[in-house]
Structure 1
Amino acid sequence: MTRASQSRSRDTAADDAVPVVDDARAACTDLLAHGDHALVVALDATPREWLADRGHAAPNPAFVATYPHPDCVRVVSDLREPVAVALAAEEFLASLPDGAAPAVCVDGLDRLAERAGPLRTARFLSVLANRVRAAGGTCHYHGGADCSHVPASDP
Structure 2
Amino acid sequence: MLLTFDDGYANNAEVVLPILWKHGFPATLYVSTGLIHTPGYLTWPQIRELSAAHWDIASHTVTHPHLPRLSKKAQRAEILAARARIEQELGRPADTFAYPYGEYNRATLRILRKAGFRYAFTTQAGWASSDQPPLELHRIVVDSQKPFEDWVQQLTDATST
- Verify same fold: TM over 0.5: no
Structure ranking higher on relative contact order (CA contacts 8 Å, 6+ apart): 1
Compare CA radii of gyration and give the structure with the larger one. Answer: 2
**TM-score where L is the length of structure 2:** 0.37
Normalising by structure 1, we get a TM-score of: 0.38
